[in-house]
Chain A
Amino acid sequence: MPDALAFVVNGEPRSLEVEGRTLLVHALREGLGLTGAHIGCDTSQCGACTVLLDGRAVKSCTVLAHQADGREITTIEGLARNGEMHPLQRAFVEHHGLQCGFCTPGVILTAADLLSRDASPSDEAIRHALRGNLCRCTGYQGIVESIRAAGALS
């Protein structure tokens, strides 16, 4: 039996009916049309579905939609403001932080959590924070440089 949930997504109140088993990533993608949270694995390992829940990075494939009821969610679609890219998005463009881009939304939201705790993280701290985000294109050097640059901007 579906239940009605209400949460704030990218700053706007949204409501949705979901089943008990519905994962947050499915609620976002299929219920709200926010397809920026990607599904890259079945095992909670890849981090492509990472979103911010009350400001903290979580894998939306490993949260029941019900658990997000009444809380604030930020997806990649919510980072740009008034048509201006978020500093992390700009840094990823400028520093070649992506190739195919599939992992990028999750990587950027994980980085947003990191930079909210530490605006100038060491490369070691950046790499430690990226442990739950897999990039299969070309390695992490460009990603680390992008996050370091975004930290310096903010």
Chain B
Amino acid sequence: MIPAATAYARATDLDHALELLAEPDAKAIAGGQSLIPVMKLRIARPSLVVDISRLGLRGVAERDGELHIGPLTTWSDLIDAEPLGRPALAAIAECARGIGDVQVRNLGTVGGSVAHADPASDMPAVLLALGARLELRSPAGAREAALADVLLGPFTTALGLQELVTDIVIPLPETGSGSAYASVEHPASGFALAGAAALSTPAGETVALTGVGSTPFVLPEGDLREAIAAAEIFGDRFASDVYRRELAAVVAERALATARERAKEDA
């Protein structure tokens, strides 16, 4: 199908992008792998698409004990990224390899996924387990926010209309840490019916779930089964709440077991 009529503008730098986003019903486009499908179905009818895909902001680097992932980094970039070879960060490439298909991974971006906030998106769960924060820019200036505080609900974030993600920052886990991602996918759509990311460090363990609630979320500390039993988990025509809760426990245990194994290799 053909999208509804829209204007197109390519941002030359970040300030230009923020200025263009002042237009009512403007939408930022990076890889377009979530936005264009909904434009084709005319679920989204932006008046203007602001192309931010050539702003740089791409690549993975370690700096001062933190990992920086540029929001325009594609899934394919993440699979090949050198700094992600550590067992402590293995969940990132593992998760990226399973997203969509190669065509989607060549264009889709990590920042786009975070800003789109699909309740079944994979990578936000990994970023949550790793304790990621976002650097944000709007005409009012720069701010930072924990990812957990930005994801509010299905396709809903705390980002302002004229606000863009400029960096995704993860504190580097201490030596002896491991991470993993596991999911069970809907066979047609490929989206997670239940997905879990786990980080195991000498100081403790964190598990985040996706596909089971209104947004990816971190489970409270303590017994995994009890935490999942107490979590708010929905059901739909593809998987009842009872089945989804069971799947969540299965993928969480798988992810955590792999993360613990990997932690032994992390030196």
**Most chain A CB within a 10 A radius of its CB, from B8, B37, B104, B190:** B8
Interface pair B7/A64, CB less than 8 Å apart: no
Interface pair B7/A20, CB less than 8 Å apart: yes
Q: How far is the CA of A67 from the CA of B76 in the complex (A)?
A: 18
Q: Is the interface of A mostly helix, strand, loop or mixed?
A: mixed
Residue of B nearest to A44 (CB): B37
Would you give the 0/1 interface string for B1-32, flagging 1 where the beta carbon is closer than 8 Å to chain A? 11111111010000000000000000001001
Interface pair B106/A57, CB less than 8 Å apart: yes
Q: How far is the CB of A133 from chain B (nearest CB, A)?
A: 8
For A, the interface residue count at a CB cutoff of 8 angstroms equals: 32
Q: List which B91-115 residues lie within 8 A (CB) of chain A.
A: 97, 100-104, 106-107
Interface pair B103/A132, CB less than 8 Å apart: yes
Q: CB < 8 Å: which of B1, B6, B190 contacts A42?
A: B1
A3, CB-defined interface residue at 8 Å:
yes
**Which residues in A have their C-beta under 8 angstroms from that of B4?**
21
**Which residues in B have their C-beta under 8 angstroms from that of A64?**
8, 29, 32, 36, 49, 51
Some 23 contacts from A to B, beta carbons below 8 A apart, are A20-B48, A21-B5, A21-B8, A23-B3, A23-B36, A23-B40, A26-B2, A47-B103, A50-B103, A53-B106, A58-B107, A59-B103, A59-B104, A62-B32, A62-B36, A62-B37, A62-B103, A64-B8, A64-B32, A64-B36, A67-B51, A69-B10, A129-B102
9 closest Cβ pairs, A-B complex: A132-B101, A20-B8, A131-B101, A21-B3, A56-B106, A44-B37, A66-B8, A59-B103, A132-B103
Mark B residues whose CB is within 8 Å of A: 1-8, 10, 29, 32-33, 36-37, 39-41, 48-49, 51, 53, 76, 97, 100-104, 106-107, 190
